[in-house]
Structure 1
């Protein structure tokens, strides 16, 4: 038996509205709960120091949301920074490792309205987790993989900037399991298959493959080079950073990665006319599972509205009203491992009715 839209909505919402608050999300892609928050170190709680810090925190938050530091040069953002209290929700102080920090959170709706006026990308809070495979060539020619227990400044800077920019990352343990699966040659050569296989134990959504070496090119004057490639699904972005100190190059690396990913997944007000996308989801054997899928879809920043068209025989069809195009919506949906596409590549052209299998 197949039940159609009106009956489904009336029955589900009348009988099971309370269940919505009990349905939890456990996405593979990381859901950032601090996207509109940031913190900076301070020397005191004096008023002048607080105002300066709040403006810095506002800038840091805007860059995290957009993925692009270039927006800070926009006049509208400069004016907003000068009126930071208009966007402020709350702030406070905390102490970590003998350092005092000012923390603040900002109004999501007001910030997004500001960013739309300058057509900046708004990169939602569901972001791909990148497995970082980084090999560094030492002065003596040997090469090492940067592991999670590394004590180098470069590794710590990588993690700090990734946290600041809202780019979820993981570094390999390089224990016996990793060493049996991956060699430094695999990382240096950016060989995808062994790195993808080894990354499965870390539940990553993509790879960030980087090699670090001292250039012999006279044009770069012997500087250090970071060559990187990030892969999420079938999307690939590349970059190259050059500097004279590898310990200080991890931050520009993360900045470039964030900017490229924000261009892929961010939503601009000038994007093509909003699309509608109909999808079919299988393996929905209870109303609870339908509610779970509906709540998941509604949580995506690219989705304006979710309408349940029909439900029956273990499957449901939903129509999604979107901010932007359908292909980008499919990319965003596929970041969650519970939604396994079964009749199309989610990063290729959009199918007429893409089918997903719900694996809760």
Structure 2
């Protein structure tokens, strides 16, 4: 009890100063980016519904969210009432007919309430980081692996598509370390063990392999997404590079949202007790509490007991135990520990 009181006293001092680090916390879920030809109010009003649609899809992870009658019937009204602020920036895309991006910021609580009232799942800000091994082969150009510093049209389009669906990605640096481990052929043949080994330095949650080629009919693409023991494969064609990038982005987002999005309720649906080992300092305790409280399925966290470096907590969930397990598997901050001798699940806190 003395240790618990000490921790709680220190926690009061730390709560306003600790900047908890999550696996990947997407910060622009409630912001839409729309290409526009001008900065006039007329054009801005014309694309408000398009911006709201983009945000609703991004937050829910559901590409068909507008099919819900409670949302579709109120789209025009919601676009006006939920938009909070706007700004413009250069589009920076070559040969783009729309020279500006209109950035629209929408009310986060209002968006969540709309989705909750419609019974649509919400995919929270903690999302899997995807390292992308992408090889592009275009006639009269050498095969190229997209890197973190690539500034060509393909790289920009891919990043914008992923941002449109709220998917955090990172391209490899392709420095000496990467070049010694990975070749274009490894991506073409989908050498998963080789690419997985090379991806370790990027601390990602998932890995995407893509091979894009061009012929007289357009573009062909083969993709493989690997996350843990799960794997998804897609083959697609498109008249333009934008077509295949848009399609694969939607496929990835829909797939991951089906795993991590949670239907939000006003009351907790599930409660269980959890024990966490390795919480040795007050700062560990505060980071653990902040981490758990920011997980989408978690409605509330209550401290029950501190014994040495073990912490026992009561967890209230808006969803299922499975949704909680999937959420914590992303950040690698909590690791499940085999605990056959006890009924309370045990996790290890990873500093």
Give the shorter-chain TM-score range. Answer: 0.7 to 0.9
User: Which residue in 2 is equivalent to 1:201?
Assistant: 201
CA displacement at 1:128 relative to structure 2: 0.7
Q: CA deviation at 1:124?
A: 0.6
2:130 aligned residue: 130
Q: Given the superposition, is the C-alpha separation of residues 245 and 323 from structure 1 closer, same or farther in structure 2, using an over 3 Å criterion?
A: same
For 1:269 and 1:26, locate their aligned partners in 2 and report how far apart those are by CA, in whole Å.
24
Distance 1:77 1:314 in 2: 48
Instruction: Give the whole-Å Cα distance in 2 for the aligned partners of 1:245 and 1:92.
Output: 30
> Match for 1:300 among 289, 295, 300?
295
Note the C-alpha offset of 1:174. Answer: 1.8
Matched, 1:333 2:324: no
Determine the structure 2 residue equivalent to 1:110. Answer: 110
Q: Is the 8 A contact 1:20 1:295 kept in 2?
A: no
Counterpart-to-counterpart distance in 2, 1:48 and 1:144: 42
Distance 2:280 2:31 in 1: 39
Show structure 1 runs of 5+ residues with no match: 216-220, 345-350
> Deviation string for 1:152-176 (max 9, x for gaps)?
4322211111112110111112222
1:269–1:235 CA distance, 2 compared to 1 (3 A): farther
- The equivalent of 1:312 in structure 2 is 307
SS in 2 for 1:34: coil
> C-alpha distance in 2, partners of 1:144/1:94?
32
1:316–1:265 distance in 2 versus 1, CA, 3 Å = same
1:134-184 CA distances to partner (integer Å, 9 max, x unpaired)?
234455898543333445432221111111211011111222211111122
Question: What's the secondary structure of 2:73's corresponding residue?
Answer: helix
Distance change in 2, residues 1:11/1:63 (3 Å): same
Q: Please give the TM-score of this superposition, normalised by the length of structure 2.
A: 0.85
Residue 86 of structure 1 corresponds to which residue in structure 2? 81
Q: Secondary structure at the match of 1:318?
A: strand
- Tell whether 2:46 aligns with 1:52: yes
How does the TM-score come out when normalised to structure 1? 0.83
SS in 2 for 1:58: helix
Which segment is superposed worse, 91-100 or 186-195?
A: 91-100
2:34 corresponds to = 40
Task: Name stretches of at least 5 consecutive residues in structure 2 with no aligned partner.
Answer: 93-98
Q: Which residue pairs with 1:324 in the alignment?
A: 319
| Structure 1 residue aligned with 2:95 | none
CA contact (8 A) 1:229 1:236 kept: yes
Deviation at 1:314, TM superposition (A): 0.7
1:67 aligns with 2:58: no
CA distance in 2, matches of 1:119, 1:281: 33
Q: CA–CA distance in 2 between the matches of 1:269 and 1:134?
A: 36
CA change 1:141–1:87 in 2 (3 A) is: closer
Question: How far apart are 1:353 and its partner, in Å?
Answer: 3.6
Instruction: String of CA shifts for 1:44-102, please: whole Å, max 9, x gaps.
Output: 444332322322211111111122221123333233321123223x2132333684443
Structure 1 stretch 286-295 or stretch 14-23: which is displaced more? 14-23
Match of 1:347 in 2: none
Q: Of 256, 270, 275, which residue of structure 1 is paired with 2:251? A: 256
Q: Distance in 2 between matches of 1:355 and 1:32?
A: 28
Structure 1 224/45 Cα, relative in aligned 2: closer, same or farther at 3 Å? closer
| Greater alpha carbon shift after TM alignment, 147-156 vs 257-266 | 147-156
In structure 2, what is the equivalent of residue 181 of structure 1? 181
Q: Is the 8 A contact 1:138 1:213 kept in 2?
A: yes
Distance in 1 separating the partners of 2:224 and 2:269: 30
Task: Write the distance in 2 (CA, Å) between the matches of 1:109 and 1:204.
Answer: 29
**What SS is found at the alignment partner of 1:94?**
strand
